[in-house]
Structure 1
């Protein structure tokens, strides 16, 4: 074998080695990217604290916490609609107050877990900071203990992404069944998100539907309804929320009724 063939084989082996290292490096970069996305989030905030061994019995107490800038009349409107559907399950629905987004999270935890996404607009591209849902769930778990609340719903004006699947961005809401808490984002329920003129009535209807939807998951389970007009159907776009009603379909109503029978409500 001449010298040229030996060098050719060596180069080939080096090429394969470099290819393997490139693949390993790519995997490490991807892993590092995910770590960076989660940087500053404590273990508890991602794994969440173990709930009490005591299971919730119904009826119980539901609390609503507003995080951000909201009208004062929004709580009684949401409360009325929730009681209209889920009334027998709750002794009372409590207003847990309204907090500024920055003040809601202790220390510098407001900045933790932020995921930056670009949104194309008519005349520009805007960079938005999305927040992980588990950061809100952790906050709600602590609020449950502080206020002695069994079930809790947060309504925030911050944009969300799912802690369970980071590819699901600009969420309308997400429930954590294990910890009896859920969060709704009003960020992309507003017409301004779609660069359209504000419509307070439409915004109000959307936030009512999503509040009913997320509390519905805590009572009915994680499954979505296949009826596109049922409030428990899954909406990936705002048109789906506008299309569905603020009511349960017959199948979901029957499911809720079976829960009432189970708890003798």
Structure 2
């Protein structure tokens, strides 16, 4: 059996045109360039570990993984559209301020356009709730296919 599939070297990254949905107006090319943005206060040691593991795991899938840096939310943005909920893990009845995912999508989307990337992921330590269904609280993450970005 040949080392090549369809007479192509499987070790070379090759672009495959795939459509996300039937209504998609432009084709996405995978593998592509991925941008990762850190939003909020994240320690530098965790950032180094995350970068190391992301490159190790996803390097063969993406042409390049671009770390777009850290973005701290402006005080005016932090207070917009927040929800106050009780912290169910704490017995002191402290309230937690949840941030909507749309707030992060707009930041990621702007960075994607600025850096000319195909996909974007935002990593945050802030508690989030879904902007598409406000009853879904304390998310681990959510993706927005139309904007080609996700928040974790």
TM-score per shorter chain, which class? Answer: 0.7 to 0.9
SS of residue in 2 equivalent to 1:164: coil
Task: Say which structure is richer in strand.
Answer: 2
Whose Rg is larger? 1
2:125 aligned residue (150, 157, 163): 157
Q: Structure 2: which 5+ runs fail to align?
A: 1-23
Q: CA-atom RMSD, angstroms?
A: 2.1
1:182 aligns with 2:150: yes
State the distance in 2 between where 1:172 and 1:162 align: 10
Between structures 1 and 2, the one with greater helix share: 1
* Deviation for aligned residue 1:171: 0.7
The normalised TM-score by structure 1 is: 0.44
Which is bigger in relative contact order (C-alpha 8 A, separation at least 6)?
Answer: 2
- The one of 36, 40, 46 equivalent to 1:74 is 46
Where does structure 1 lack aligned partners over 5 or more consecutive residues?
A: 1-51, 185-265
Shift of 1:136: 0.8
Give yes or no for the alignment of 1:59 onto 2:37: no
Per the alignment, in what secondary structure is the counterpart of residue 178 of structure 1?
coil
Q: CA deviation at 1:76?
A: 4.2
User: Which runs of structure 2 are paired with 1:1-265 in the superposition (5 Å)?
Assistant: 53-102=25-74, 108-120=76-88, 121-122=90-91, 124-184=92-152
- CA shift in 2, pair 1:78/1:178, >3 Å: same
TM-score of the superposition, structure 2-length normalised? 0.73
Moved over 4 A (4+): none
Matched positions, count: 128
User: 2: CA distance between counterparts of 1:164 and 1:72?
Assistant: 32
